[in-house]
Structure 1
Amino acid sequence: MLPEALIALAMSGGTAVMTAVGTEAWEGFRGRVAAWFGRGDARREGAELERLGRTAAELAAAEGGQLERVRIRQEASWQARFEAFLEDLPEDERERAGEALRELLAEHATRARAQVSAGDGGLAAGGDVRISAQEGSVAAGVIHGGVRIGHPQAPDPSQG
């Protein structure tokens, strides 16, 4: 059984794969993910590149209402793939691989924040977004990616 921190990393890995597919960052990110899985073995790295390519092709072929289902299934599949890979490593290698995955995901997150974009009628943000409504109004949002829930910061005393 993996420690909770490595399970969380595996989940983040699956999410990162899905958020990178179809973006400008995809080619570089998929290469780094394949290298992480390959761990110096060119044959394994090539197999992972093929697997990542199939993921991208399946998403590109999905139409309409299928797209979200395919995305959810692929994300879960990649989360499980990261988790199984980490679990199969000897404990000393597992920690090193976990740290390397943490660094890979942090680098990807930094690059992704620099490349935020949205299509017609969409809103994309590289930081916080607050959605609120006046009394008697409706506010809605769809979240693709991570969410952090917490208590708002107390205002600075100088602000009242």
Structure 2
Amino acid sequence: MLEESIRALAAACGDAVVRSVKTDKWLSVRDAVARILSCGDRQHELTLLDLLDRTARQLEAAENAKDAPVDRMVAEWQNRIADLLQQLVGDQQAAAIQELGERVILPASDTNTRVVGHRPTSVYFAGNHVVGHTSPGPVNDPDDDWEQGS
């Protein structure tokens, strides 16, 4: 369950990172992601800031939305965030999960519902934990094989 919750959080967070690039929320999202996931390691924070800035430059360089590698970048950030969260343990992991929800996902959206790739996904928080996520499921999209659930 914890790994599934981390993946759900990482999906929403990766989407929030990429989709906030060309908005007024970019700098706060960028700084929060780097600070939270570096866990106080300044060199790691600088490395993450460089990766985030590279993502922004690539998206800004795309001539139009069709040229932008949005889905690929969302997937890259989802995987990177999930991997970093899985390296954390106990209170450090719980704090990072809570902060990513509060300082990255929610500020990047007007609601807690985001489109991750092409699937609407909701991530629900209770205290320091992601307690569920939903997708439209195969009932609404026959090509969607992602299990409905929390």
Report if TM-score (shorter chain) is over 0.5. yes
Q: Extract unaligned runs of 5+ from structure 2.
A: 123-135, 137-150
Displacement of 1:75 after TM fit?
A: 0.3
What number of residue pairs does the alignment pair up?
A: 120
Higher strand share: 2
| Distance change in 2, residues 1:7/1:54 (3 Å) | same
TM superposition score normalised by structure 2: 0.67
Distance 1:53 1:145, change over 3 A: farther
Question: What's 1:77 paired with?
Answer: 76
Moved beyond 3 Å, runs of 4+: 143-149
Paired position in structure 1 for 2:143: none
Asked if structure 1 preserves the Cα contact closer than 8 Å seen for 2:32 and 2:104, the reply is: no
For 1:76, give the aligned amino acid: A
Alpha-carbon contact 1:15-1:145 (below 8 Å) kept: no
Give % identity.
34
Q: Structure 1 counterpart of 2:42, which letter?
A: A
Specify the SS of the correspondent of 1:29. helix
**2:16 and 2:104 in contact (8 A); partners too:** yes
Q: 2: distance between equivalents of 1:144 and 1:26?
A: 22
> What is the CA–CA distance in structure 2 between the aligned matches of 1:55 and 1:145, rounded to whole Å?
22
Residue pairs, 1:121-160, within 5 angstroms: 146=120
Gap runs ≥5 in structure 1: 114-125, 129-142, 150-160
Separation in 1 of the partners of 2:10 and 2:97? 9
- 1:102 equivalenced with 2:134 (yes/no): no
1:33 and 2:7 equivalent? no
Tell me the alpha carbon deviations over residues 2-40 of structure 1, each in whole angstroms, 9 at most, x when there is no partner: 532221001011010011101111112111111111211
Q: Distance in 1 between matches of 2:97 and 2:15?
A: 16
Give the aligned CA root-mean-square deviation in angstroms.
Answer: 2.9
Query: Relative to structure 1, is the Cα distance of residues 100 and 147 closer, same or farther in structure 2, using a 3 angstrom cutoff?
Result: closer
Q: Is the 8 A contact 2:18 2:74 kept in 1?
A: yes
What do the CA deviations read for 1:129-155 (whole angstroms, capped 9, x no partner)? xxxxxxxxxxxxxx9784566xxxxxx
Q: State TM-score, norm by structure 1.
A: 0.63
Q: SS at 2:24's partner residue?
A: coil
Match of 1:50 in 2: 50
Residues 45-97 of structure 1, C-alpha deviations (whole Å, 9 max, x = no match): 11111100000001111234321xx1110000000011100112234432232
- Structure-2 separation of matches of 1:16 and 1:76: 11
